[in-house]
Structure 1
């Protein structure tokens, strides 16, 4: 009981220290600008959650100079400088995130490869591994067996449903 109480008392301290150490290594020299997807300072390109907690690139002297310049009039910034500032904050645009990747081709190809391997394996076992079917499986034998069952009146249908 005392051990559980001690561990539950220290659990928040351990988690804060662990998360603090992990995030400092991952963040580096980048700006933390928001709460993040799960409250963690990570970068994710997602269309359903468009604001990541971190900037994409680390702060370099060039980017810091552009950030100081952007605090003024944005009309003085060139298109290239605006693009550089955008790429410092985000890795992809929405159109780049939504663009088709062609991943479906590999999935279809792999599923066809696995299906063809299964068919070839079935044919191999059918030809070489399984014994031949008994004679009673031939159509002539089955018809002869059905004729004999009719002649011997095996399993006749009785009851209310059999009467007209």
Structure 2
């Protein structure tokens, strides 16, 4: 049972690998123009790797006619034809890829919402969950505890009692 499951999963992995390497069925009739990123037939607009393996658009009769015209003198091509050829090969220009998306606004907004939710949770916990502080947290109790520690000479070598001058009755 386990071996049959292992072999069937290995067959599926091999099929996926073949689909990635020989993925002609997935790209339609787009023209393969290079090795691409990692040798796969995929299109990605990337600044660090500006040479995709396939063209952006599938070949239509208009684009095929423009490609034939492209093989001749480029001065005979109009600006619109040059742009159409570029858009058939690439989705975005470098300027469009580098353009700001405004994504930072949503990130800041979500962060502010989460921070405000956290503050409200803290306030509600302080009001309804936590009990009152014990009396030992009051200033009088802290002073009384410090006086008692000095009177008992707690940790006289390096501690709080070492910073008190017992002859003068004041802090050093």
Short-chain TM bin: 0.7 to 0.9
RCO (CA 8 Å, sep 6+): is it higher in 1 or 2?
Answer: 1
Q: Secondary structure at the match of 2:88?
A: helix
* Equivalent residue, structure 2, for 1:42: 42
The reply on whether 1:17 has 2:21 as its aligned counterpart is: no
Give the Å deviation of 1:13. 6.6
Structure 1 range deviating more: 76-85 or 139-148: 139-148
Q: How does 1:107-146 map to 2 (within 5 A)?
A: 107-146=107-146
Q: How does 1:141-152 map to 2 (within 5 A)?
A: 141-152=141-152
Matched residue count: 151
Give the Å deviation of 1:17. 3.4
- With over 3 angstroms needed to count, the CA separation of the structure-2 counterparts of 1:110 and 1:147, relative to structure 1, is same
Give the Å deviation of 1:18. 3.5
Q: How does 1:45-124 map to 2 (within 5 A)?
A: 45-124=45-124
* Equivalent residue, structure 1, for 2:169: none
- With over 3 angstroms needed to count, the CA separation of the structure-2 counterparts of 1:138 and 1:28, relative to structure 1, is same
- With over 3 angstroms needed to count, the CA separation of the structure-2 counterparts of 1:75 and 1:116, relative to structure 1, is same
TM value normalised by structure 2: 0.79
- Unaligned regions of 5+ residues in structure 1, if any? none
TM value normalised by structure 1: 0.83
The reply on whether 1:157 has 2:165 as its aligned counterpart is: no
- With over 3 angstroms needed to count, the CA separation of the structure-2 counterparts of 1:137 and 1:64, relative to structure 1, is same
- Structure 1 stretches of 4+ with a deviation exceeding 6 A read 10-13
